[in-house]
Structure 1
């Protein structure tokens, strides 16, 4: 994957997450600053942070349960330690932090 392809994949992913959050039933705020997307659960203020790691060509997710590194494997991002795809991982960590099942309907 070239740097341009990697950058395009990250941008599509972050926009897809923002779109899913705009249409989900959960009160999750988000803020994007360049290569970092911060998700904040309004009920308890906990955060999940996604960040672009250009040197490694990875997408990192930081949550209370730990840090996760995802590499792009067609057709999407896959966690290098758990094997979960990004939608599964993101819903899991958000659910753990929310204390109930969070569903985003994410398809990135």
Structure 2
């Protein structure tokens, strides 16, 4: 099991990688970071996807219209306990569902 320090480092690297991917993407997706919460807003329809750090149980939570997802860090990256998807796969799926067209962010897995 990873230490709290390793968890915090992995989360920070992941959130920065998502912000970098959003800066480079072709879709109009705004983002705002407030402490441990990263809110993505799709400008076309105003819907949001929210990623939040859950330090107590060392998880990354993703809240989307289709539901809430809890991801744990398993080498080589974050994996959803319910769907088995990696974070990039999950994030691209929920963003595509909410955008109404395929969204593909290039997120580097830690």
| TM-score bucket (shorter structure) | over 0.9
- Deviation track 1:40-81 (CA, whole Å, cap 9, x = no partner) reads 000000000000000110000000000000000011000000
Gaps of 5+ in 1: none
- How big is the shift at 1:107? 1.9
- How big is the shift at 1:105? 1.4
Match of 1:84 in 2: 85
Gaps of 5+ in 2: none
Structure 1 runs of 4+ aligned residues shifted over 6 Å read: none
Superposition pairs of residues 64-75 of structure 1, within 5 angstroms: 64-75=65-76
TM-score by length of 1: 0.99
- State how far apart, in whole Å, the 2-side matches of 1:13 and 1:96 are: 22
Match of 1:13 in 2: 14
TM-score by length of 2: 0.97
Structural RMSD (CA): 0.4
- How big is the shift at 1:100? 0.5
Superposition pairs of residues 36-75 of structure 1, within 5 angstroms: 36-75=37-76
